[in-house]
Structure 1
Amino acid sequence: MSDSFDLGEPPQPAKPDAYRVLARKYRPQTFAQLIGQDAMVQTLGNAIKRDRLAHAFLMTGVRGVGKTSTARLIAKALNCIGPDEQGGPTIDPCGVCEPCRAIAEGRHIDVIEMDAASHTGVDDVREIIEASRYAAVSARFKIYIVDEVHMLSKNAFNALLKTLEEPPAHVKFLFATTEVNKVPITVLSRCQRFDLRRISAEMLAAHFAHVCEAEGLTAEPEALALIARAAEGSARDGLSILDQAIAHADLDGGGVSAEAVRQMLGLSDRGAVRDLLGLMLRGEAADALALLRRQYDYGVDPQSVLRALLETVHGITLVKVGTPPDAAQPLEEREARGEWAAALGFPMLHRLWQLLLKGHDEVARAALPIEAAEMALLRVVHASTLPDPGELARQLTQSPGQGAGAVSAPAPAPVAAPVAVAAPPPPPAEPQMPESFEALVERLDADGELLLVARLRQGARLVRYQPPEIVFSGSRPMAADTLTDLAAVLKTMTKSAWRITLDDVPGQPTLNEAQQVRDEAIKAATWDSPMVRAAREAFPETELVEWPGKRSMM
């Protein structure tokens, strides 16, 4: 009797390989594939060639720029033995030797990766310290990769300091963090730091085009440019968006299109943004609000509309200062920005930026976002018809008969002056008495009597001024030496003896109080003037301030 039985089951089909997202599938395996970090690659390459390797490296940067990938590449570069198993550390690891393949697959026994977010305590660091004393099992270096190192506790950092400063020769530490400001300075000073840069939109778009070609897909350049801008410098974020765009696209209808990406990301159509900005600048409020509502009905977020308007105004300003045009922008966008740059001045562009930026912040916090967006656009519409603030200030400082449209009378023709015969100089004139108490104080101020002037302005209430006699109110106490000092100074100044007394009557307001009353009157008149009223309606947070060095309000 046979020990085996044939149950007649058909052979099972092989299980298909699980799909790997693009962000993992196209993770860089060599330094040559690491985009946008040429300075760091050159530094590491030179350090390896000259055998000047640090014992600890810290990679910092925004999400998705390659911090953890760089740490793994450094681990491969330090432990690579080459196809013939005779090689040494190299900036170009072979990728075929056992250490390279084991590190790439995350199974090398001497390359330990730890997530500091889930291993924050001092006990976790103590395990690293204890294990670091033992030599590597099969690799040249024992390497510890600690991701998000800023999540370690204070005690954990302190426990690591001594080992981090003087580690065994066979140990290397590779740290990665997105928040380097949370890493203690004592740790930073023991590491060789690399700040990974944001990847430019141009580099990301070229990288995404290469990925699409490798995947056998087609994508419009504008679609890739939109994805690159939405990634904000992160290769991983961009590949995740590209993965989503590929799933969203109709591959039978031509691949990934810009329109499909806009719909997927909820971006406002660039043509609609240009139309909206044009309506706002022409002051067509009703049409601008209707276009905004139409975008809102299409599912576009009001905040994204204001963000697109901000990007457009920023682009127009760059064109106006002479910045080369962005090649990723469509031709219609570049032409429209060029026309606006020629028509709008810098004050108008700065005003548009400030109003839109304020509206963007209001929409982000508003309970009614679309209503807040409409109010923000209305402010821009009304502000576009107002004169420049500098022109407003010039008009406010002009007298009523000298406005912008006033015509000045021609200057009289010069009259020939008779030739004068030299005469002996006149005798020196007698010192003139100041016409008023205020004129007297100003003269004292001009002569440098600052302390006396301060006393008179703040505390002297005048009852009568009839040179050479002054009567002050005694209702407000005044220092006795003030009257004595004033009489002495006036005798020297006017060559006459003055009589200065006090009378028990209320007297006039002090000079400071009178000046304050005049300033408030000027401020009230200016605040209620037609020009300023129009400015206040356009700029609700307008304030009237005093010019430095001026006593009157402007």
Structure 2
Amino acid sequence: MESPLALYRRYRPETFAEVIGQDHVTEPLRAALANNRVNHAYLFSGPRGCGKTTSARILARALNCEQAPIADPCGECDSCRDLARGGPGSIDVIEIDAASHGGVDDARDLREKAFFAPVRSRYKVYIIDEAHMVTTQGFNALLKLVEEPPPHLRFIFATTEPEKVLPTIRSRTHHYPFRLIPPRLLSSYLGELCDKEGVSIEPAALPLVVRAGGGSARDTLSVLDQLLGGAGPQGVTYDLATGLLGYTPDTLLDDVVDAFAAGDGAAVFGVVDKVIETGQDPRRFTEDLLRRLRDLVIVAAVPDAPATGLIDVSEDQGERLVAQAARFGPSELTRAADLVATGLTEMRGATAPRLLLELLCARVLLPGADDATDGVLARLDRLEKRMSISGGAPTPTVAAPAPPAQDRPAPPVDRPSAPDPAAARPEPAQPSRPTVEPVAESAPTPTVEAPDPVVEPPAPEPEPAPAAPAASGGLTLVDVRRLWPDIVDRTKGMRRLAWMHLTQNCQVVSVDGSSLTLGFTNAGARDSFVSAGCDDVLRQAAVDIVGASWKIETIVDPGATPESAPTVTRSAVAEAPSAPEPAAPAAPAPESPPPWDPPAEEGGPSAIAAAREAIQQTRSADQEREPAGTEWADADAEAHPDDVDADHQGMSTAELLQRELGAQMIEEIRHQ
């Protein structure tokens, strides 16, 4: 039993009505045939396998049909039967392959035979395939014949490269450019052929066949013929198509795209390892990934693209694309597509394609390392996604947290203005007799009378405005841990003590729809966190970042390690979160010796010297504690709001010494 012919030969069109995807060519040709206005020479150009030679044969059949002029051959006369699919051919229709008959001698032989009249038909038709292979000398030998042919002669040139045809020849023909066949039309055509062949094919496999054919009808039918030959009882399945054609399965593409959306590096590199372990080509995987990202970009811009046929995918895959596109921002998608396209170009000729693929995935996963515009927009997309990750947009009624207390001046209504120290102290009775007050005066004013931001206790945390609770039921523990660094960073700008606890003493243990549980390394850290009101700060930060209003639960977990634990130094604590630092006070002037000391025999010098030494030690300790100005004092005041401030306003020198040093002033005996 003889094997059947190939599909592209068995189903070759016999009329212009059967040619698919070339209506811009077939309709004008049919009109010219029906009106008997056929030119003496035609040039058919276009990609391979799109119907150029087939259309030339149909045109020759229509010209020699006994019922001519007619738009389509009748298929009943002798000429139509001779030129039909599988027919013996006609002696008056000559096909020449210019790839092997393009020399000057072949052109001369054609010119000598062309002047003879046709044997049985009305016209003698020459179909010259691959016309761009004809040499310049051969075209020159045909030039006069093509320009002024005898009445019974017709020329049809077919080529994939019309620019290589001699311009003088091309100018004497009617040029019809053929195009690639649209994917949707080709998919429908393949489905009809499978029905005629009696073989079932899965809808998900059709796009793969069309993609492998590249818009060429002949190439696509060859691919389909291969799949039909290897199909089993179930017909052409998706797995069979991906295996034979070498495409990446959709499951792998879904996994890597979902991992990119979640920022899960372990899953991304796991997919890369699976690609290599299964023997797939990294370049093909990258190409398929780029095509998937292209589809997602289109779906993000046009959500109904799968339904309207803007992208040729099956129904279930279209639903997956819509869901995946919703997890990205438009800038994230375009940036990822640009990176993959650049990486695919770099892989051409590369000796280590796996290494390039892994580096490419790392760049896609880290938009923070990209300081270009695309990287900034990608980070912005991620922030917007986090704001609405619970399913709704952030509520606009949430009050913005106030800046830290140390970064803003104290309100004027909280406390009266500090009096002038010079006005507060009494005048000495006699200028020539200095009293003990100058000893206290010698202390620099900035040390005793610190600026308001230093001595002022931190302002109470503002109560957030009532907001509608966010739908946090969709947040899992993995999601919270992924967003945890942003939440912790938010608390840094609200209250430093909360930020220090979260970065050093605790980690996220569990989360549900209404509460967030933190595990602390010891009970002391937990009690300090709760008693200082840091749980309210954390709850507000979670509202600001993810839109979820959780109840903060705390437990003791000795094995807890902080989720984000940067090294905390004094400079790190002193760093301002947003507003510029307040101006540091001027450095204290060097201590000048007192102008006069009482005589040693009067008993006063020992107490006064002891007081002076204690004040100097206190000042030195303060200066050592403030190496960077008032920033550390600001942070310390924020972290320890209950500390007693050294407020000296309204107090005399003796009262200040009594309160701060526990010293008692001994009345000085003045000399006359």
TM class by smaller structure: 0.5 to 0.7
Q: 2:300 aligns with which of 320, 332, 350?
A: 320
Name the structure 2 match of 1:217.
199
Residues in 2 aligned to 1:291 and 1:406: alpha-carbon distance in whole angstroms? 45
Deviation at residue 25 of structure 1 after TM alignment: 0.8
Distance 1:406 1:334, change over 3 A: farther
Letter in 1 for 2:73: P
Q: 1:114 aligns with which of 96, 114, 123?
A: 96
Letter in 2 for 1:175: F
Q: 1:284 aligns with which of 234, 240, 264?
A: 264
Contact 1:121–1:155 under 8 Å retained in 2: yes
Alignment of 1:323-402 (within 5 A): 324-326=304-306, 327=309, 328-383=312-367, 386=370, 389=373
- SS of equivalent residue, structure 1 residue 175: strand
- SS of equivalent residue, structure 1 residue 113: strand
Q: 1:310 aligns with which of 290, 314, 319?
A: 290
Name the structure 2 match of 1:31.
16
Contact 2:303–2:322 under 8 Å retained in 1: no
After superposition, give the CA deviation of every residue in 1:66-96 in whole Å (9 maximum; x if it has no partner).
1111110100011111xxxxx2232221223
Identity %: 37
Deviation at residue 27 of structure 1 after TM alignment: 0.9
Residues in 2 aligned to 1:206 and 1:348: alpha-carbon distance in whole angstroms? 34
- SS of equivalent residue, structure 1 residue 172: strand
Name the structure 2 match of 1:153.
135
Deviation at residue 388 of structure 1 after TM alignment: 6.3
1:123 equivalenced with 2:108 (yes/no): no
Residues in 1 aligned to 2:314 and 2:201: alpha-carbon distance in whole angstroms? 15
Q: 1:78 aligns with which of 47, 51, 63?
A: 63
Letter in 1 for 2:348: A
- SS of equivalent residue, structure 2 residue 83: helix
Name the structure 2 match of 1:96.
76
Deviation at residue 385 of structure 1 after TM alignment: 6.8
- SS of equivalent residue, structure 2 residue 348: helix
Letter in 2 for 1:50: N
- SS of equivalent residue, structure 2 residue 279: coil
Contact 1:249–1:256 under 8 Å retained in 2: yes
Task: List structure 1 runs of 4+ shifted beyond 6 angstroms.
Answer: 405-410
Q: Structure 1: give runs of 5+ residues left out of the alignment.
A: 1-15, 82-86, 396-404, 413-554
Letter in 2 for 1:278: D
Residues in 1 aligned to 2:72 and 2:283: alpha-carbon distance in whole angstroms? 46
1:293 equivalenced with 2:273 (yes/no): yes
Contact 2:335–2:375 under 8 Å retained in 1: no
Residues paired across the two proteins, number: 380
Deviation at residue 225 of structure 1 after TM alignment: 2.4
Name the structure 2 match of 1:53.
38
Alignment of 1:100-249 (within 5 A): 100-104=80-84, 105=87, 107-249=89-231
- SS of equivalent residue, structure 1 residue 364: coil
Name the structure 1 match of 2:244.
264
- SS of equivalent residue, structure 1 residue 90: coil
After superposition, give the CA deviation of every residue in 1:281-333 in whole Å (9 maximum; x if it has no partner).
33322321221221232232211211111111111221222274235423443
User: Which stretch shifts more, 301-310 or 107-116?
Assistant: 301-310
Distance 1:359 1:95, change over 3 A: same
Structural RMSD (CA): 2.6
Contact 1:246–1:256 under 8 Å retained in 2: yes
After superposition, give the CA deviation of every residue in 1:469-493 in whole Å (9 maximum; x if it has no partner).
xxxxxxxxxxxxxxxxxxxxxxxxx
Deviation at residue 181 of structure 1 after TM alignment: 2.1
Distance 1:26 1:117, change over 3 A: same
Contact 1:348–1:388 under 8 Å retained in 2: no
- TM-score, length basis structure 1: 0.64
Contact 1:281–1:384 under 8 Å retained in 2: no
- SS of equivalent residue, structure 2 residue 186: helix
Q: Structure 2: give runs of 5+ residues left out of the alignment.
A: 380-401, 412-672
Distance 1:388 1:319, change over 3 A: farther
- SS of equivalent residue, structure 1 residue 242: helix
Residues in 2 aligned to 1:170 and 1:323: alpha-carbon distance in whole angstroms? 58
Residues in 2 aligned to 1:168 and 1:225: alpha-carbon distance in whole angstroms? 49
- SS of equivalent residue, structure 1 residue 173: strand
Distance 1:70 1:359, change over 3 A: same
Contact 2:261–2:327 under 8 Å retained in 1: no
Residues in 2 aligned to 1:78 and 1:294: alpha-carbon distance in whole angstroms? 59
Contact 2:335–2:374 under 8 Å retained in 1: no
Deviation at residue 151 of structure 1 after TM alignment: 0.5
Deviation at residue 50 of structure 1 after TM alignment: 1.6
Name the structure 1 match of 2:254.
274
